[in-house]
Amino acid sequence: MTQQPEVPKAPEAKPIGEVTHYFGKIGVMALDLSDTLSVGETIHIKGHTTDLIVTVESMQIEHESVPKAGPGDSIGIKVGEKVRPGDKVYRAE
């Protein structure tokens, strides 16, 4: 019996941030970034009960619109569904 060659596993996606708050009335999440993020990128929000893909149409830092944010920034992004604090945010492939 011949041994099958081992198939390399795809690298696990690294989160680019974490949800810290969700403002239900306006449908906006607060996100602490650990990597860069730009308007126009698509993100995947994943948690125990959350699995959502969103294209970033706009983002704000302290109520000011910005085109790009980086590690350490806390930003607001409009999302179409409820997300929860602790949900991880990944760059969608």
Spell out the SS3 assignment of 33-83. Answer: ECCCEECCCEEEEECCCCEEEEECCCEEECCEEECEECCCCEEEEECCCCC
Q: Cβ atoms within 10 A of the Cβ of 73, count? A: 18
How far apart (Å, rounded) are the C-alpha atoms in residues 31 and 56?
Answer: 12
Q: Which two tokens stand for residue 29?
A: 């999440």
Instruction: Name the band, by pLDDT with cuts 50, 70 and 90, for residue 13.
Output: confident
Read off the pLDDT of residues 39-77 as tens digits, 9 standing for 90 and up: 999 999 999 999 999 999 999 999 999 999 999 999 999
Q: In terms of pLDDT, which residue wins out, 7 or 79?
A: 79
In the chain the domains, ranked by start, together with CATH numbers, are 17-91 (2.40.30.10)
Prediction pTM value: 0.84
Q: Closest by alpha carbon to 45, among 34, 53, 37?
A: 53
